[in-house]
Amino acid sequence: MKKLRKVKKVKDGKKKRKSEQLRTEINKKRLISALESSFGLVATACQQVGIARKTYYEYLKTDEEFKEDVECIQERLLDFSEAQLSRLIRVGEPSAVYFHLKCRGKKRGYVEKSQIEDVTNEKKQKTIIGGREIEFE
69-99: pLDDT as tens digits: 999 999 999 999 999 999 999 999 989 988 8
Task: Kindly calculate the radius of gyration of the chain based on its CA atoms and give it in whole angstroms.
Answer: 27
108 vs 3, residue with greater confidence: 108
> If 0-12 CB within 10 Å is exposed, 13-18 middle and 19+ buried, where does residue 40 land?
middle
Q: Taking the model in full, what pTM does it have?
A: 0.64
**What confidence tier does 16 reach under pLDDT thresholds 50, 70, 90?**
confident
132 strand-pairing partners: 129
List of E strands, the chain:
112-119, 122-129, 132-136
18-73: pLDDT as tens digits: 888 899 999 999 999 999 999 999 999 999 999 999 999 999 999 999 999 999 99
